[in-house]
Amino acid sequence: MKILVTGSNGQLGTELKLLSKNHLNIEFILTDIEELDITSEAQVSAFLLEHKPSWIINCAAYTAVDKAESERALAMKVNYEAPRILSTLGQKMGIGVVHVSTDYVFDGKNCLPYKEFDGVNPQSSYGESKLKGEVAVLSHKGIVIRTSWLYSAYGNNFVKTMIRLGKEKESLGVVFDQIGTPTWAHDLAEAIISIITTTEKTNNHHSGIYHYSNEGVCSWYDFAVKIMQLSGSQCKVRPIESVEYPVPAPRPAFSVLNKKKIKETFKLEIPHWEESLKKCLNLLLKD
């Protein structure tokens, strides 16, 4: 089996790259913008014909949430046009597609964890572009996995920012009125490989939308406090309201995801966010 990974230099792509060493029965074709421009239909078509992958995992995305408000066209190109091209050609060539999406497709006004077919209502250009990408992939029988609060030992993310600030500052404010669940990119990468291998073994392709994050619920403030505790930082974290930290793009106030569907369909066990955070911090702090 061959798996094409796009966006392989990002957080999730890097985790898949590392996991590839544990799956010697799978050939991973790791690409980023330097190897493959997924916004070019001609390039993608030629690449797929040459390499003939069984699956595509699309980790590539425009993720600069605030910049997307002023770079709408670029966000749409990467988050909508690219997955449309990948899924259209994938369906034509009999290639399975797994596309990674986001909690930002919701408006954050729920009080219960979001299920896959709850109403979507993105509040930002980033969320709009990701939703259009979802629709394109689903129209071509792909698998869409929505996730939230992604972090890793690699790339730029909240965990690494908190560790840096914890060394530089005596105190900092973090919003307490945005609730969700952190997701360790390593766990998501393992889940995606498990989904693909299960699908291959059972020959039962479960296209559609699935939600994946780690288990449990917290605010960004709670998350930051735990990072400081586990990393041994003396930096004091203060809870602040979102209005005290204005940003161009609105964030969902509540983005907890219901994961029952993905757990039951693919027989997945999902770790609690605190356990996964400990493992990630062990990697980050071991030096």
Respond yes or no: is residue 80 known to be catalytic: no
Give the per-residue pLDDT at 204.
Answer: 85
Mean pLDDT of all residues belonging to the chain: 96
Q: What angle, rounded to 10 degrees, do the helices at 82-93 and 41-51 form?
A: 40
> Residue 45 pLDDT more than 70?
yes
- CA-wise closest residue to 59 among 177, 145, 161, 187: 145
For the chain, how long is the longest CA-to-CA vector? 56
- CA-wise closest residue to 132 among 194, 76, 196, 216: 76
Collapse the DSSP code of 101 into the 3-class scheme (helix H, G, I; strand E, B; otherwise coil) and give the result. strand
Can you say how many angstroms the Cα of residue 137 is from the centroid of all Cα atoms in its chain? 16
Give the per-residue pLDDT at 287.
Answer: 60
Give the per-residue pLDDT at 286.
Answer: 81
- Looking up tokens 């899924």, which residue turns up? 87
The mean pLDDT of 11-27, rounded to a whole number, is 94
User: Is there a contact between 2 and 26 (Cβ–Cβ < 8 Å)?
Assistant: yes
Residues 104-123 have pLDDT tens digits of 999 999 999 999 999 999 99
State the Cα–Cα distance between residues 257 and 116, nearest whole angstrom: 8
Active-site residue, selected from the candidate residues 62, 80, 104, 126: 126
Residues 176-226 have pLDDT tens digits of 999 999 999 999 999 999 999 999 998 888 999 999 999 999 999 999 999
Neighbours of 261 (CB within 10 A): 17
Collapse the DSSP code of 152 into the 3-class scheme (helix H, G, I; strand E, B; otherwise coil) and give the result. coil
pLDDT: which is higher, 213 or 22: 213
Residues 143-178 have pLDDT tens digits of 999 999 999 999 999 999 999 999 999 999 999 999
Burial 205-242 (b: 16+ CB within 10 A, else e): eeeebbbbbbbbebbbbbbbbbbbebbebebebebbee
User: Is there a contact between 31 and 70 (Cβ–Cβ < 8 Å)?
Assistant: no
CATH 3.30.70.360 for domain 2-157+183-215+255-271, yes or no, is no
- Looking up tokens 């972090």, which residue turns up? 151
> Residue 39 pLDDT more than 90?
yes
pLDDT: which is higher, 102 or 23: 102
Phi, psi of 97 (to 5 degrees): -125, 130
Round the CA-based radius of gyration of the chain to a whole number and report it.
19
Q: How confident is the model at residue 24 (pLDDT cuts 50, 70, 90)?
A: confident
User: Is there a contact between 58 and 102 (Cβ–Cβ < 8 Å)?
Assistant: no
Give the per-residue pLDDT at 209.
Answer: 98
The mean pLDDT of 46-69, rounded to a whole number, is 97
Structural element, H or E, at residue 43: helix 41-51
Give the pair of three-digit tokens for residue 81.
């046009």
State the Cα–Cα distance between residues 178 and 108, nearest whole angstrom: 9
The mean pLDDT of 248-266, rounded to a whole number, is 97
Give the pair of three-digit tokens for residue 168.
């530089």
State the Cα–Cα distance between residues 69 and 75, nearest whole angstrom: 9
